[in-house]
Structure 1
Amino acid sequence: MNEIHVRIADWQKDNADLRRLRETVFIAEQSVAPELEWDAEDVDALHFLALDADYAVGTARLLPDGHISRVAVLKDWRGLKVGETLMRTVIAEAERRGLTQQHLSAQVHATAFYERLGFAVVSGEFLEAGLPHVDMLRSSS
């Protein structure tokens, strides 16, 4: 594995990579219905790509209100700090844009990961796309 780097993606130019990552993780692995995966918010969102050399291995998006979503890392790169590097970049960009609170809906199994990044659970468990989630919030200090 090379050094992972994260960059802001262009929804149009990087669409093939963004779709490949989300389709692999959410639709193929987690059985999320395609009509739930793709929404109108993609056009206005700020997208990120985590790259191993020039190969896209992770993605996330940041909405204008500070909501982080569609965080996905390919299976072979999980446990290698790709998600952490990706999320730290998204958080830094949110703060740079004056978004002092970031929020997300986390799959329950991933709450410890987000807690390490400063997020706290702020809701009970609920189902989203058939998977158990909780809402989480992070406030910049």
Structure 2
Amino acid sequence: MTIETIVAKTDEQIQDALKVRTEVFVVEQQISKDLEFDGLDNECFHFVAYDGEQPIAAGRLREIDSNGKVQRICVRKDYRGKQIGNDIMHLIHKTAKENGIHQLVLHAQESAIPFYEKLGYHISSEIFYEAGIPHAEMKITLI
């Protein structure tokens, strides 16, 4: 298995990221397509991981007032537990720093909080619900 994680540059690569998001969030987690596709994708950096030609993970980074919001981190079910989420997050951190973004925030699904804590994020809110799923806001300062 040779996994390549990239910043999506072409329309095809961005569409690949959206396919993974649809599979994980809309199909698997039953999140409304209207919530998942919020009209903000054209303002974001997109990230996608491939196993050969097959898109297997995705995420996006949106700049808001010189801070970054990490969103839509997802890995196809059959690829979870293989460090691919880490690869996506490390590339997001690298891209953020290259663009002068050093404060990142994200809304982690409660089940994913330990994953983000291992990357250095800390919880900065009480549990709240988005799309019917418990989340917590988490933050990190990149050095």
The TM tier, using the shorter chain, reads: over 0.9
- Aligned-CA RMSD value: 1.2
Contact 1:100-1:140 within 8 A present in 2 as well: yes
Contact 2:93-2:142 within 8 A present in 1 as well: no
**Of 16-25 and 108-117, the range deviating more from structure 2:** 16-25
**Of 77-86 and 9-18, the range deviating more from structure 2:** 9-18
Structure 2 unaligned blocks of 5 or more: none
* TM-score under structure 1 length normalisation: 0.94
Q: 2:101 aligns with which of 75, 94, 99?
A: 99
CA distance change for structure 1 residues 22 and 92 in 2, over 3 Å: closer, same or farther? same
Deviation at 1:54, TM superposition (A): 2.2
The answer to whether structure 1 residue 38 and structure 2 residue 37 are counterparts is yes
Aligned pairs, number: 140
CA distance change for structure 1 residues 138 and 112 in 2, over 3 Å: closer, same or farther? same
Q: Which residue of 1 aligns with 2:79?
A: 77
Structure 1 unaligned blocks of 5 or more: none
The one-letter code sitting in structure 2 at the alignment partner of 1:98 is G
* Over 4 Å off, 4+ runs: none
**Secondary structure, aligned partner of 2:100:** coil
Distance in 2 separating the partners of 1:14 and 1:3: 17
The one-letter code sitting in structure 2 at the alignment partner of 1:59 is A
Identity of aligned residues (%): 34
1:113-135 Cα deviation digits (max 9, x unpaired):
00111100000000001100000
Distance in 2 separating the partners of 1:78 and 1:135: 22
The answer to whether structure 1 residue 129 and structure 2 residue 131 are counterparts is yes
Q: Which residue of 1 aligns with 2:16?
A: 17
* TM-score under structure 2 length normalisation: 0.93
